[in-house]
Chain A
Amino acid sequence: MMKKNRSLREAASAIPFLLPSVVGMIFFSLLPIVISVFISLTDWDGLAALSLGTLAERFIGFGNYQNILGGEEFWRVLKNTCYYIVLYIPLVLIASLGIATLLNKGKKGTAVMRILYYIPVLTSWVAASLIWKWVLSSQYGILNQLLALIGIKGPEWLTSEIWAMPAIVLASVWKDMGFFGLFLTSGLASIDKTYYEAATVDGAGRIKTFFKITLPLLTPSIFFCLVMALINAFQLFPQVMIMTEGGPNGATQVMVERIYNYGFRYFKMGYAAAFSWLLFIIIFILTSIQMKLQKGWVHYES
Chain B
Amino acid sequence: MKKRRIKTMLAAGLALIMIISLAGCGGGGSAEPENTADTDANTTVAAEAASEAANEEEVTITFANFNASGGNEETLEEMYLAFQQEYPNIKVDIETIGYDDYFTQMQTRVAGNTAPDCYELNIENFAAYAAKGVLAEITGVDFAGINETALSAFNVDGKQYGVPGSFSNVVLIYNKELFDQAGIEYPTDDWTWDDVQVAAEKIKGLSDDIFGIYAPVTYNEFFKVAAQYGGSLLNEDKTEFTINSAENIQAAQMMVGRIVDSNVQPNSSQMGGMDDWSLFESGRLGMISTGIWAFGTFTEECDFEWDICVEPGGTQKATHFFSNAYVINADSDKSEAAATWINWLASSGEAAKLRIEKGWDLPAITDESVLSAYLEITPPENRQAVFDSLNYLVTPPIIEEYSLMSDIITGKLEEAASGKITAQEALDQAQAECESRITLK
Contacts and interface: CB of A to CB of B under 8 A. Distances in A.
Interface of A: 13, 16-17, 19-20, 23-24, 28, 45-50, 133-134, 136-141, 156, 158-160, 247-250, 261, 264-267
B18 interface: yes
Contacts, number: 99
A139 B403 CA distance: 32
B274 A249 contact: no
Nearest to A73: B437
Q: Name the interface size band of chain B.
A: 35 or more
Contact of A159 (B19, B268, B420): B268
Interface in B154-195: none
B424 to A, nearest CB: 17
Nearest to A51: B113
B144 interface: no
7 contacts: A13-B7, A47-B107, A48-B134, A158-B273, A159-B273, A249-B415, A264-B103
Nearest to A44: B111
Contacts of B26: 28
Contacts of A140: 272-274
Contact of A49 (B11, B113, B272, B403): B113
A137 B269 contact: no
Best-buried of A45, A139, A158, A267 by chain B (most CB within 10 Å)? A267
Contact of B273 (A13, A16, A137, A265): A137
B132 A248 contact: no
B276 interface: no
B117 to A, nearest CB: 15
Contacts of B331: 49
User: Is chain A's binding surface mostly helix, strand, loop or mixed?
Assistant: loop
Contacts of A134: 273
B4 to A, nearest CB: 8
B273 A19 contact: no
A23 B270 CA distance: 54
B57 interface: no
Contacts of B418: 248-249
B403 A265 contact: yes
A139 B132 contact: no
Contacts of A28: 26
Given A20-B22, A133-B273, A248 B104 contact: no
Contacts of A13: 7-8, 11
B373 interface: no
A49 B112 contact: yes
B219 to A, nearest CB: 13
Interface in B62-112: 103-104, 107, 110-112
Given A19-B15, A248-B414, A265-B403, A138 B22 contact: no
A250 B128 CA distance: 25
A261 B407 contact: yes
Contacts of B273: 133-134, 136-141, 158-159
Contacts of A138: 269, 272-273
